[in-house]
Amino acid sequence: MIAEPILLVDDEPELRVPLRHSLEADGYTIEEAESAAMALAMQAKKHYAVIVTDLYMPGGPSGLDLISAVKVKDPYALCVVITGYASLDVSIRALKCGAYDFVQKPFKLVEIEAVLDRALEHGRVQQQLRAHQENLESLVLERTSELQAFHQEVLRLNELLLEAQGNLDEQPLLKPFLDYLQARFCLDAYGFFTTDETGGWMRILEFGQRPWFPEATLPSPEEAQEWTWEGGYPDGHLVPIFRGENLLGMLYLGFEKRSAFHTQDPSFLFWKAQLEAALHGLRCARGHAVFEVAKAMGWE
């Protein structure tokens, strides 16, 4: 059964009705109209893949009028003309109106079926192209939206990096970065650890009510130098923060439930790079401050 609907338009029932029965017997889906006006009323309520129309129908709009009106309302409907007057002038006028093909009277059933098959296949290709184009447009809009959102992230993170310059205290430097990360990825908890004077871990900042991993369960700073996270806790991630080969700290990200978050997310990687730059800047600022104090006290 050929599901695409075909509308058969002819004012002569002695041609229209037998043709409909013959086409339906061969698997086509056929509806019929006895005038162009009736066909337009039917077409206003439903899309017909193909409309087969007689050219001359006295007492109302002609087949040419029907084709012109159909193409305005539904440019993807394909119109096939049945005519006994297939002169060059008529053919040109029909093509200008938007006709797809002609069938000249008298015709054999196999002839009109060949034209209908071509028209239906043409319509299917058109439909596939429209769907492909709509999908491409949707992908372009989606990608444009993603790029705009990422651009806003870049601007905000650059602002945080500029605000962090010259800061000598880790907590006020870290908090805006981590609060932004919490809002961006819907974290339920976070924590940042850095090394203390003994070479162990010291918790600098935390957020959330989740049970914290005891510092004793973290890899040692020496191990963290070569440590990579390959799995995931059901509810969190541990991320070493480096600047070059220097370990700057360990970041814990906690979730109440499993999350789609991944440490290779481009947005997270950009955030991580900005945080690493800010922490590196803090350490440089501290070193410079110590040098200036030493210089002022004559300890050079």
**Token code pair at residue 7:** 């509308």
> Which of 3.40.50.970, 2.60.40.650, 3.40.50.1980, 3.30.450.40 would CATH assign to domain 165-296?
3.30.450.40
- The backbone region for 247, taken as left when phi is positive above 0, alpha when psi lies in -120 to 50, beta otherwise, is beta
147-167 pLDDT tens trace: 777 777 778 877 877 777 766
Strand 5-9 to 29-33 pairing: parallel
Q: Structure pTM?
A: 0.49
State the distance between the two ends of the chain, measured CA to CA, in whole angstroms. Answer: 95
| Regions in the chain scoring below 70 on pLDDT | 1, 85-88, 166-167, 209-217, 224-235, 286-300
| pLDDT of res. 214 | 58
> Which residues lie below 8 Å from residue 118, measured CB to CB, with a gap of 6+?
101
| pLDDT of res. 8 | 93
Task: Please give the Cα distance from 201 to 213 (Å, whole number).
Answer: 12
CATH code, residues 5-131: 3.40.50.2300
Task: Please give the Cα distance from 211 to 208 (Å, whole number).
Answer: 9
| pLDDT of res. 42 | 93
Q: At what angle do helices 63-73 and 88-97 cross, to 10 degrees?
A: 20
| pLDDT of res. 224 | 67
Residue ranges covered by each domain of the chain: 5-131, 165-296
| pLDDT of res. 9 | 92
| HSE-CB of 135 using CA atoms within 13 angstroms | 6
15-58 pLDDT tens trace: 889 999 999 999 999 999 999 999 999 998 989 989 999 888 87
Task: Please give the Cα distance from 21 to 11 (Å, whole number).
Answer: 16
Task: Please give the Cα distance from 12 to 122 (Å, whole number).
Answer: 28
